[in-house]
Amino acid sequence: MEDKTLIELKTKIQNKEISSYELTKFFLNRIKKIDPKLNAFITVTENDSLKKAKKIDSEIAKGNINPLSGIPIAQKDIFCTKGIRTTCGSKMLEDFISPYDATVVEKLDKAGMIIIGKTNMDEFAMGSSNETSYFGDVKNPWNLNCVPGGSSGGSAASVAARLIPCSTGTDTGGSIRQPASLTGICGIKPTYGRVSRYGMIAFASSLDQAGIFTRTAKDCAILLSHISGYDVKDSTSSKKEVPDYYKECTKKFEKMKIGIPEEFLDGLDSKVAEVFTESINIFKSNGCEIKKISLKNSKLGVSAYQVVAPAECSSNLSRFDGVRYGFRANDVKDIDELYKKSRSQGFGDEVKRRILIGTYALSTGYYDAYYLKAQKIRTIISKEFQNAFKEVDVIIGPTAPDCAFKLGEKLNDPIAMYLSDIFTVSTNLAGLPAISIPMGFKNKLPLGLQIIGNHFDESKILSLSNHYQNLTDWHMQKPDMLGET
C-alpha cells in the first residue's frame, strides 16, 4: 500500500476499494513504526485525522466526493493550521496555535485531503540539512547517518520513507528541491506568485514559494493544480489562470530544447557528473535537443541570496518579540530586556546569525553596498535566464553539488552549508519554477536532476519530468526502512 502513488490511491478511494479511514490508519501506523528512526514529524494529529477520515468516508458514502477526498497529506510546519500547533521548527513558536488556516492548507482541505501531521524543518526554514530544527535532526531514510537536506527535510524524508504519499514544502533558496534530491523523490518549486504565501510563515518574502513533494511527476502535477492560483490575501500572487497540470504533463510528449549551463558542470563531483551525463543521454536519444548555454552570473547567486534572504528575514522575524504570542522569557525588568531575552532564548544560532547579517546589510551606510547591490545582481541573473529561455525550453543540471552528507558534517561551516544551494538559489532570485527528480545514486544515496523552466512554464518542466520517469525507474527506488528487502 505504501508504494501506491497519489493517483492510485485516489482511484482506490473513488472505487471504494479502501476507505479514507483505513488509508489514514495505515499511514499513521507506518509513522508510528518508522518515524522514531527519522524524526520527520513534529506533530502527528492522529485523533483529528481519523475523525476527519470518518467524516469524509460518510460524505463519500453520500456521493459527495472531492478530487482528492480522503487522501492523507503531511504539512510542513511552516504552514499555519487552525487548531494544530505551528512551530516553524522553533522554540519561539513551540506552543503557537494559529487561529487561521494558510491558503494552501485551506485549498487542500477543500480538495478533500486529510492532514496527518506537521513535518519537521530547519528553524524558520533556515538551513540545508534540517539540523537547525528545535525539534531535533531529521535522518535521511537512505542512510540514517545522513541529513535529508533542508529546510523541508521532514516533508522530504516522510515521502521518501513512504510514511505519507505526499507533503507540502516551501522553497526560498532550494528548500524543496535540495531535500527532494537528497532523499530521491520529486519536489517542485513553482513560479514566484503561482501559489499564495498567505499563512506561510515568512522567511524571505520575495523568494519564498510553496510547493509539493511526491514520488512521481504526475502526482506532483495533480497537487500543484490544487494549491495554485490567485489569492486576494496575497498581493504578490498571480492572476494567471491555472492549467490542469496533470493533463498538460501527460499529453503526448513534444520535442524540447534543453539547455545545459556549462557553469553547472565546472568542477562538479565526478560521480554526480557521470550520473547527470547519463540523464542527458536519455534525453538526447528520446526526442530532445541538447544545447550548451552559459549562465555566467549564476555563480553570484549564493552571495546575492545571502544578502537578500537575511535582510528580509531580519525584518520578517521582528514580530517574534515575546509581546503578543510565542515564547516569552521570564524575569525581565523592562521591555528592552523582554525583547532581548525572549529573542536570545527563543531563536537558535542559525536564525540569529541570519538576523544579524540581515540587520547589518540594511543598516545606514551599508544598504547600498549590500542590499542594493544584491538586488542589482538579482536583476542581472533574471535577465540572463530570460536570454537563455529565448534559446531553450528548459534548463537542466544536478539539483545539488553532491549526495546527502553526514549529520554534523557541515553544521559548523556555514559557508559549506550555504554552498549546498549553489544550483538552486538563482531560480529563487529570478522567480522561476524548478523541479528536482531522482536521476541515480552515489554511494547508495540518491541524486537529483533539476529542471528549470521559464516563468509559469510548470507544464513544461512537469512534462519533461514525466517523460523522464516513463523512461527510467529511479523514482521507483525505495529505501529499506523496515529491513523488508
Residue 225 annotated among the catalytic residues of the structure? no
Q: Is 333 one of the binding residues for another protein (CB under 8 A)? A: no
Q: Give min distance, CB of 375 to another protein, in A.
A: 9
Instruction: Tell me whether residue 198 or residue 283 sits nearer to another protein (CB atom).
Output: 198
Q: How many CB atoms lie within 10 A of CB 391?
A: 11
Catalytic residue among 19, 69, 152, 175: 175
DSSP class of 300:
G
Give the position of cell 509539493. 212
Peptide bond into 237 cis (omega under 30): no
The cell numbers describing 252, all together, are: 503526448
Q: Which of 200, 300, 357, 396 binds another protein (CB under 8 A)?
A: 200
Q: Is 330 one of the binding residues for another protein (CB under 8 A)? A: no
For 254, list phi and psi in degrees, rounded to 5. Answer: -105, 145
Q: Tell me, residue by residue from 35 to 54, as one string, x for binding to another protein by CB under 8 A and - for no binding.
A: --------------------
Q: Tell me, residue by residue from 94 to 123, as one string, x for binding to another protein by CB under 8 A and - for no binding.
A: --x-xxx-x---------------------
Catalytic residue among 12, 52, 76, 139: 76
Q: Which of 24, 39, 45, 86 binds another protein (CB under 8 A)?
A: 86
Q: Which of 216, 314, 342, 459 binds another protein (CB under 8 A)?
A: 314
Residue 285 annotated among the catalytic residues of the structure? no
Q: Which of 95, 367, 369, 406 binds another protein (CB under 8 A)?
A: 367
The cell numbers describing 444, all together, are: 547508495
Q: Is 371 one of the binding residues for another protein (CB under 8 A)? A: yes
Residue 151 annotated among the catalytic residues of the structure? yes
Task: Please list every residue from 146 through 165 that binds another protein, using CB under 8 A.
Answer: none
Tell me which stretch binds another protein (CB under 8 A): 234-242, 275-283, 396-404, 429-437: 234-242
Q: Does residue 148 contact residue 141 with C-beta atoms inside 8 Å?
A: yes
Q: How many CB atoms lie within 10 A of CB 435?
A: 30
Q: Give min distance, CB of 347 to another protein, in A.
A: 13
Q: Is 197 one of the binding residues for another protein (CB under 8 A)? A: yes
Instruction: Give me the residues paired with residue 213 across strands.
Output: 167, 187
For 40, list phi and psi in degrees, rounded to 5. Answer: -80, -20
Q: Does residue 170 contact residue 205 with C-beta atoms inside 8 Å?
A: no
Tell me which stretch binds another protein (CB under 8 A): 260-268, 310-318, 426-434, 450-458: 310-318
Q: Which of 18, 362, 380, 419 binds another protein (CB under 8 A)?
A: 362
Q: Give min distance, CB of 235 to another protein, in A.
A: 5
Distances in whole angstroms, Cα of residue 1 to Cα of each of 5, 16, 155, 165: 9, 15, 19, 10
Catalytic residue among 69, 151, 228, 279: 151
Tell me which stretch binds another protein (CB under 8 A): 131-139, 201-209, 402-410, 420-428: 201-209
Q: Give min distance, CB of 314 to another protein, in A.
A: 8
Residues near another protein (CB under 8 A), total: 44
Annotated active-site positions, please?
76, 151, 175
**Site residues for another protein per CB under 8 A:** 79-80, 86, 88, 93, 96, 98-100, 102, 197-202, 204-206, 232-236, 311-312, 314-315, 317-321, 323-325, 335, 339, 359, 362-364, 367, 371
